[in-house]
């Protein structure tokens, strides 16, 4: 049961590692974790402690955050926009822009 509950996390970690062009062996050496343990983490076969999750995520340039459920759609939208902006330099827009009423500095 645990495997399915954190699979989205372990898939995200694996994807981030692969995007950085790191093998399991190279990344496990970088963070000081045996490659066999990293393999089990990425497959969801081991219970991942919060401290280990934070360490692995930060080593991949990720940050773990707890977001109120009602804000998840907004955060997802911002992440999607950031991903699209990073691939299309011609149409980059700021993720957040002050409205006219906010310009009263």
The pTM of this model reads 0.69
CA distance 42 to 34: 13
pLDDT band (50, 70, 90) for residue 1: very low
CB distance 93 to 85 below 8 Å? yes
Which pLDDT tens digit goes with each residue over 56-72? Answer: 999 999 999 899 999 99
CB distance 57 to 13 below 8 Å? yes
Reply yes or no on whether the pLDDT at 101 is more than 50: yes
Which pLDDT tens digit goes with each residue over 17-68? Answer: 999 999 999 999 999 999 999 999 999 898 888 999 999 999 999 999 899 9
For the chain, the maximum distance between any two Cα atoms, rounded to a whole number of angstroms, is: 56
């Amino acid at each position: 049961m645990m495997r399915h509950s954190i699979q989205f996390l372990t898939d995200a970690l694996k994807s981030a590692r692969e995007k950085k062009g790191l093998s399991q062996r190279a990344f496990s050496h970088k963070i000081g974790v045996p490659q066999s343990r990293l393999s089990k983490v990425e497959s969801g076969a081991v219970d991942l402690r919060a401290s280990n999750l934070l360490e692995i995520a930060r080593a991949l340039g990720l940050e773990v955050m707890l977001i109120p459920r009602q804000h998840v759609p907004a955060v997802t939208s911002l992440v999607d926009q950031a991903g699209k902006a990073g691939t299309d330099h011609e149409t980059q827009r700021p993720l957040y822009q002050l409205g006219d009423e906010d310009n009263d500095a």
